[in-house]
């Protein structure tokens, strides 16, 4: 393979993502993961399949995705709502996921099955729950927003007291007041960073 062919192949790789086929042993490039997950329907399909180890009917997947999109239950879906989701899944989204090696989509049988490569996407699909878990563990119950609001309130009370020359507050000079407020916020910031 010449150097010209190498450059051309490298350039086309980013443009023709749909033509790439990935085996179960490969790892998806991050760009490919984001390309796949950029569509909400594909994300919903993958979320539905996360809880399954066996093949499921494509119809069941389409109905659940339609129910999620329309904020209703599968039983309450209209035929139009089902069809608006079923056709794009059948023609576009499921074949794309199959070509990427994330699912096994047997279009003629109407069956979908999650493949091992799909595990690479689980982290991104569960990002919200991962963030809330890490935030809860990282702050150990401390709600830093409340601390900052409290510090802002205390600073406002100090400023108002000095402005109206209240007895306790008039003792503090302008520079001393500024230093005190700065010290409060610096202490909070260091405390949040250390935890």
Task: Please give the full DSSP string across 89-115, using - where no structure is assigned.
Answer: IIIIIHHHHHHTTSEEEETTTTEEEE-
**CA 118, CA 97: separation in Å to the nearest integer?**
9
pLDDT tens per residue across span 157-191: 989 988 888 888 878 888 988 999 999 999 988 88
Query: What CA dihedral angle connects 172, 175, 180 and 183, to 10 degrees?
Result: -170
SS3 string of 39-55? CHHHHHHHHHHHCCCCC
Residue 22 has pLDDT above 90, yes or no: no
pTM as predicted: 0.55
In the numeric block, which tokens belong to residue 121? 């996407």
Which pLDDT score is estimated for 8?
Answer: 37
């Amino acid at each position: 393979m010449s150097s010209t062919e190498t450059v051309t192949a490298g350039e086309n790789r980013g443009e023709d993502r749909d033509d790439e086929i990935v085996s179960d042993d490969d790892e998806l490039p991050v760009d490919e993961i984001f390309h796949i997950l950029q569509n909400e329907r594909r994300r919903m399909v993958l979320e539905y399949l996360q809880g399954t180890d066996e093949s499921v009917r494509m119809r069941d997947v389409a109905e659940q995705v339609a129910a999620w999109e329309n904020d209703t239950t599968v039983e309450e879906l209209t035929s139009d709502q089902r069809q608006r989701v079923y056709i794009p899944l059948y023609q576009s989204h499921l074949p794309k996921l199959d070509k990427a090696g994330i699912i096994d989509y047997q279009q003629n049988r109407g069956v979908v099955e999650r493949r091992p490569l799909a595990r690479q996407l689980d982290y991104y699909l569960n990002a919200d729950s991962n963030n809330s878990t890490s935030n809860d563990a990282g702050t150990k119950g401390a709600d830093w927003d409340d601390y900052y609001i409290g510090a802002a309130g205390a600073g406002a009370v100090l400023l108002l007291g000095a402005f109206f020359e209240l007895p306790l507050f008039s003792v503090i000079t302008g520079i001393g007041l500024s230093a005190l407020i700065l010290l409060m916020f610096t202490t909070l910031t260091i405390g949040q960073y250390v935890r």
